[in-house]
Amino acid sequence: MSSLQYTNLSSDASSEDILVQLALDVDLTLSHAAEQLWRQLNPELWERTHNPWAVLQTVSGQNLKRITSAPAFRAILDEIVRARSAENETQRWFQQAHPNSPLTSVAYFSMEYMLSEALPIYSGGLGNVAGDQLKAANDLGVPVVGVGLLYSQGYFRQELDRDGAQRALYPFNDPGQLPVRPVRDGNGDWLRLTVPFPGIDLWVRVWEVQVGRTKLFLLDTNDPANVPEYRGITSELYGGGLELRLRQEHVLGIGGWRLLRALGIHPQVCHLNEGHAAFAVLERAASYRDDAGRVFPVALAVTRAGNLFTTHTPVEAGFDRFPVDLMRTHFERYCAERLGIDFEDLMALGRRNPADQAEPFNMAYLAIRGSGAVNGVSRLHGVVSRALFEPLFPRWPTEEVPVGHVTNGIHVPTWDSNEARQMWKDVCGHDCWQGNQEGMEGQVRGTADATIWNMRTAARQSLITYIRSRYSRQIAIQGGSASEIAEAAGIFDPNALTLGFARRFATYKRPNLLLHDPDRLTRILGNRQRPVQIVLAGKAHPKDADGQAMIRQWSDFIHRSGVHSSVVFLSDYDMLLTSQMVGGVDVWINTPRRPWEASGTSGMKILVNGGLNLSETDGWWAEAYTPDVGWAIGDGREHGDDPAWDAAEAEAVYGLLEEHVIPEFYERNEAGIPAKWVARIRESMARLTPEYSANRAVRQYTEEHYIPAAVAYGARADQKGKLGSEVLAWQQKLAGDWHRVAFGALKVESKNGAAHLEVPVYLGGLDPDVLRVELFANGLNGEAPMRKEMDRGAPLPADGFLYTASVEGNRPPSDFTPRVIPHHPTAGVPLEANQILWLK
């Protein structure tokens, strides 16, 4: 696949040409060597933006030639060219581990991507996951291509006034200042697509982002041929109302798949990162319908096998829903002309009750019904998601709702500090995040205390330097006096215990739990023998008044409690600020209400940098926490928004800080090192960093989902969808005749110390091979349920068979209930057939 090759660079090329290609690569610009280049060209702009493309365009041709002609500059450039050429010749993990894999292409769809501060098309966690997985796919050589939207304004930027009031700003994203390029067709013309919209066709422009050897394609509706209203479809990320959201998701899913076809890319696997892109399953099926000459239901049965849906939503209200009239306006024509189905057939794919014509259209339901596999983003979120989607699988036990999990991970080379990067390079090698991470845990465990502590001390000092610069600029923007600006420029102690708290300010995240007892927090911060300081950041959605009030509450505390030298709230929480904070804080605090944090990635980012977590046992921390790697609050249960429980957990946080965290940080040995603290860092870095990396997550997706999905899709698509047609016929037969399946009377006997169960099952005209009769027993003590297939015996009158099974062990036969479920050798049950019959 062409996107797996870097653009060739030659040491004979001009420095200017090489810099252009480097500046347009959002992966290589993260390398330490490249940072030195951009800093030399325009130090101030680089520090504020980390946008190499913008930096490059500020330099005159004369100055560029002068700077690049310096031997030291050219030496760095030549080394980057050499390293890039070597990478083109190197087989990555995927090529080594799966040399004959049937997987050749994965299309990854996401509403947002957090790849670089130079490309502000992200909001938070969802974009973080998308960007990091795309980078990890590049590192590992997994053949992934990304599809998203290019927003002319993106998510809002935040300013805070002196009272802590948030102001939302929407600066224009000038494509000429972004690391993107127009995609050109074979004639050199800018590639523009048409997407069917109400009454007219919408024009969509296409941009390309280079992510190492991988590509991300972005769609943009700001085309002069569009009416003004439609030009603004890709203006704001998560802005506007329902209709704008529907239009954006229409462009992403349908336009995104059309784009891949126009580029000649034919993915076997389509990975939906949340339900926003679920319309892609419709256009994919329509494309197969064109190719194979099949009707839409067969095409969907074929292509479903190659689709993967990853849900990030922990609450049912978080799924996108669109009213019937709005859907009709947008999709009635599309159904008739493109899909060849009735509008109500489409609506049935997005409804809990397909027959309820008043029920709105749920994008998550479409994604589930259009995919061959579904997963949550942590072990706990898998449990939560199975409960959320249980209504789609009535009478099935919650444990058997077909939603698994792949816990998120972060792209380590993006989030490591300069100090941590050097330590990992010395300990594990410069390419340790491009392989399978074997041996890494042992190598980190062998690292000396002094090496780890010196890294942490230097990283904290770098963070304090950054905080001082950013905060003094923030005070100046707020109209602060010269003395206030000077005070801000000297804030914080580089040797003090530094806590970090940064995330979206929303009530379920409880960002003000630390303020439950302001006096107690003030005493903790005011201890001169064992000083503590907190750096905070976070945005509240412009329509979230409660979230904005919590920001003001922190501002009030800072200014009225005499702790302004120990607590700072930095405005405009973005990727650049995140990387600085996770690189230098000692302890990352996270206090969501369980189970509303689907995964959480902010706490994962500090692992590589030797930071420690103090968090609610929610999301990833619920599976990662042990007492030797950090601290936890919570009892492993859900308490809703109970104020008494909030108070109890606030007390728990204070207690952990006072009795464990602070004393451990300041208990030093004769070498001045907090040995117990460093031991905790070492174990956290060794055990958790590899496990919660995007390297592991992408390898897991590849082996557990991408390769099996490619095989399944290939089998169903073969012979113009012969197997897909058979699966559809199986589904239709089950749907038509299942109501006639019935049980006879159960007979239980004891034989040779085992219970023997037999029961007649009347099939109502169904072939016995299309269903399975089995015994089911609930799991005990948290164990998985027990399932035992019953043997089919001789035929009975009235189209029945006698099914038998023996049960041995300590469980009585009364624990087991016979049931009938669908069966097909290549279909997913209950994902593709949710019928079930229990013996009453």
Show the domain range for 78. Answer: 2-89
Last residue of a domain, one of 37, 66, 89: 89
What pLDDT does 496 receive?
Answer: 97
pTM score: 0.95
Asked whether residue 249 falls in the same domain as residue 335, the answer is: yes
Q: Say whether pLDDT at 4 is over 50.
A: no
Q: Say whether pLDDT at 441 is over 80.
A: yes
Burial status of residue 20 (CB atoms within 10 A of its CB: 0-12, 13-18, 19 or more): middle
β-strand pairing of 497-502 with 404-405 = unpaired
Is 724 within the bounds of a domain? no
Cβ distance 208 to 216 under 8 Å? Answer: yes
Query: How far is 606 from 292, CA to CA, in rounded Å?
Result: 50
Nearest by Cα to 392 from 473, 319, 300, 483 = 319
Asked whether residue 61 falls in the same domain as residue 138, the answer is: no
What pLDDT does 15 receive?
Answer: 85
Number of domains in the chain: 4
Is 730 within the bounds of a domain? no
Quickly list DSSP for 446-490. Answer: TS-HHHHHHHHHHHHHHHHHHHHHHHHHHHHHTT--HHHHHHHTT
What pLDDT does 29 receive?
Answer: 61
Asked whether residue 83 falls in the same domain as residue 156, the answer is: no
Q: What is the CATH number of the domain that holds 829?
A: 2.60.40
What pLDDT does 9 receive?
Answer: 52
Query: How far is 32 from 485, CA to CA, in rounded Å?
Result: 31
Express each pLDDT in 743-753 by its tens digit.
Answer: 999 999 988 77
Is 415 within the bounds of a domain? no
Q: Say whether pLDDT at 13 is over 80.
A: no
Last residue of a domain, one of 26, 59, 89: 89
Distances (CA, A) of 521 to 94, 500, 518, 533, 567: 50, 15, 5, 11, 11
Is 79 within the bounds of a domain? yes
Query: How far is 84 from 210, CA to CA, in rounded Å?
Result: 14
Cβ distance 609 to 416 under 8 Å? Answer: yes
CA atoms within 13 A on the CB side of 602: 29
Asked whether residue 644 falls in the same domain as residue 784, the answer is: no
**What average pLDDT does this structure show over 573-598?**
95
Asked whether residue 489 falls in the same domain as residue 621, the answer is: yes
What pLDDT does 5 receive?
Answer: 43
Lowest average pLDDT, out of 168-182, 289-303, 665-679, goes to 168-182
Q: What is the CATH number of the domain that holds 491?
A: 3.40.50.2000
What pLDDT does 6 receive?
Answer: 42
- The pLDDT mean for the chain works out to 94
Q: Say whether pLDDT at 199 is over 90.
A: no
Q: For 611, phi and psi rounded to 5 degrees?
A: -80, 160
What pLDDT does 12 receive?
Answer: 61
Given pLDDT bands bounded at 50, 70 and 90, which one contains residue 10?
A: low
Express each pLDDT in 112-150 by its tens digit.
Answer: 999 999 999 999 899 999 999 999 999 999 999 999 999
Asked whether residue 206 falls in the same domain as residue 74, the answer is: no
Is 97 within the bounds of a domain? no
Q: Say whether pLDDT at 90 is over 70.
A: yes
What pLDDT does 1 receive?
Answer: 35
**What average pLDDT does this structure show over 345-351?**
98
Q: Say whether pLDDT at 734 is over 60.
A: yes
Query: How far is 684 from 557, CA to CA, in rounded Å?
Result: 33
Express each pLDDT in 281-340 by its tens digit.
Answer: 999 999 999 999 999 999 999 999 999 999 999 998 889 999 999 999 999 999 999 999
Cβ distance 207 to 217 under 8 Å? Answer: yes
What pLDDT does 825 receive?
Answer: 95
Question: Which ranges of 660-744 would DSSP assign to H, the alpha helix?
Answer: 662-666, 675-683, 689-691, 694-701, 707-737
**What average pLDDT does this structure show over 256-264?**
97
Asked whether residue 243 falls in the same domain as residue 106, the answer is: yes
Is 235 within the bounds of a domain? yes
Q: Which residues make beta-bridge pairs with 796? A: 800
What pLDDT does 500 receive?
Answer: 97
What pLDDT does 111 receive?
Answer: 97
Is 714 within the bounds of a domain? yes
Asked whether residue 541 falls in the same domain as residue 448, the answer is: yes
What pLDDT does 750 receive?
Answer: 87
Asked whether residue 557 falls in the same domain as residue 485, the answer is: yes
Query: How far is 7 from 63, CA to CA, in rounded Å?
Result: 26
Query: How far is 30 from 52, CA to CA, in rounded Å?
Result: 10
Asked whether residue 672 falls in the same domain as residue 611, the answer is: yes
Torsion of CA 172, 176, 179, 184, to 10 degrees: 120
Is 725 within the bounds of a domain? no
What pLDDT does 431 receive?
Answer: 78
Last residue of a domain, one of 685, 708, 730: 685
What pLDDT does 30 receive?
Answer: 59
β-strand pairing of 532-537 with 373-376 = unpaired
What is the distance of C-alpha 332 from the center of its chain?
32
Distances (CA, A) of 714 to 3, 34, 371, 727, 800: 22, 42, 15, 14, 36
Q: Say whether pLDDT at 8 is over 60.
A: no
Asked whether residue 369 falls in the same domain as residue 483, the answer is: no
Asked whether residue 676 falls in the same domain as residue 746, the answer is: no
Coil, helix or strand for 210? Answer: strand
